[in-house]
Structure 1
Amino acid sequence: MQVGGPFWDVPLGRRDSLGASIQGSNQGIPAPNNTLPTIITKFKRLGLNVVDVVALSGGHTIGLSRCTSFRQRLYNQSGNGLADGTLDVSYAAQLRQGCPRSGGDDNLFPLDIVSSTKFDNYYFKNILAGRGLLSSDEVLLTKSAETAALVKAYANDVHLFFQHFAQSMVNMGNITPLTGSQGEIRKNCRRLNNFH
């Protein structure tokens, strides 16, 4: 399925691991309820900056999230049993229908309620409207003037978002490359060895 979005040139010659590991790939990745300073720190440890944080978060324009990843926003974000005050009231009510206080942990919800199968900038427009699903989405708007300015810029200019996202994907692809005789330079990118 074609979802749209930007194109970018992927630099050739990167050495990749001979195996794959879910634990290894998830290590250091921000969690849905991380604070903004934690998210930024995790990115900075990898040599990525604040623009990369916000632009790559825009990947949430496609995909789904489990109820268990955002339930706290619906029922007890601030310890008072109420929905997170930054959530649009009708959106919170809609989410509660499929994500009860207990149970339904694996029920799936679109990260982008408007266009979950199209790569566009509605993710950022949703955040501005109080419809960012994850806490890690919402904090981009509410916890930093710098990240909020990027959210607003990307909501207003899809081409700027695409440009920054493409560059951030290249930046991410340059994280800790293998060197020397480690790993392999893949000639067939569809091959995956030893996925555990």
Structure 2
Amino acid sequence: MDGRDGMRAADSDRTAVADRLRVALNEGRLDLHEYDERLQRAYAARTYADLDALLTDLPPVTPVERSALSPVTQAAPPSVGDQPAPVARGVTARWLAEVWLPYLKAIAIVVTIWAVTSLLSQDLLYFWPAWVAGPWGAVLAIRTVTGLAGAEPRREAIKRQRKRERKRAQRAVESDDPPATT
């Protein structure tokens, strides 16, 4: 044990470890429960040894330029003045809309059907749309929590970006081909 292990850690050290744990969560190296436990231990840590113990089974962060893996290319976010656009918020909002909009549309339809039948019968009928909304909504809530914890919106955005780049490259190849003559 070296002298550093017994030294008291600073708030900035705890924050750095918390950031590294978040990266490990986003990479899929930690599940949400383990991330939460380690995060609590990180903010409760008193010494560098306490913090180092949280990262011993995680690989070190390798800068992209030294990584053996091919980096994921992303388009630079548009900026207004010196303020970059909130890319993460837009990606997350789009993913949430893709997950929840079909549910909201279907629930609107079944509630409308229930309301019309209640009006036509001139009696307030049993609210059967709850049997559609409840279970489906619970499944979507779980999917939303696990998807946000697992950085699914970011992965979906990367997939869309790659698809756009492939289409753009295909269009460029097709436009370079001479027209076929028969």
Query: Same fold by TM (over 0.5)?
Result: no
Q: Looking at CA atoms only, which structure, 1 or 2, has the larger radius of gyration?
A: 2
Length-normalised TM-score, structure 1: 0.24
- Structure number with the bigger relative contact order (C-alpha 8 A, sep ≥ 6) is 1
User: Higher helix proportion, which one?
Assistant: 2
TM-score, with structure 2 as normaliser:
0.25
